[in-house]
Amino acid sequence: MCCRRSTFQRSLLYGDRDVRASLDVAEALHTAIPESSLVILPGVGHMINIQAADQLNHEMRQFLRAAQD
């Protein structure tokens, strides 16, 4: 079972120029994981942490702040 129910939140970060996995993969994961969020970063490929470190940090901070509420 890939996506059993759990009590913690998940955020999927995806670069819209990822050539290793198409947007369909991100959307399928998002659909399969209940209550997940999908953030698509424009102009970013597979290496989000290198190609868009500031955007990644921003999205992670927002996610963590929301999880505290």
Asked, for residue 1, whether it belongs to a domain, the answer is no
Instruction: Give me the domain span that covers residue 53.
Output: 10-68
> pLDDT higher for 7 or 40?
40
Asked, for residue 51, whether it belongs to a domain, the answer is yes
Asked, for residue 44, whether it belongs to a domain, the answer is yes
- Summary mean pLDDT of the chain: 89
Instruction: Give the pLDDT score at 47.
Output: 95
| Residues 20-37: tens digit of each pLDDT | 998 999 999 999 998 899
Asked, for residue 5, whether it belongs to a domain, the answer is no
Rg (CA), the chain: 13
Closest CA to 13 of 28, 2, 26: 26
Please list, residue by residue across 12-37, b when 16 or more beta carbons sit within 10 angstroms of its beta carbon and e when fewer do: ebbbeebeeeeeeebeebbeebeeee
CB 12 within 8 A of CB 37: yes
What distance in Å separates the CA atoms of residue 9 and residue 67, rounded to the nearest whole number? 7
Instruction: Give the pLDDT score at 35.
Output: 87
Asked, for residue 3, whether it belongs to a domain, the answer is no
pTM, whole model, 2 decimals? 0.79
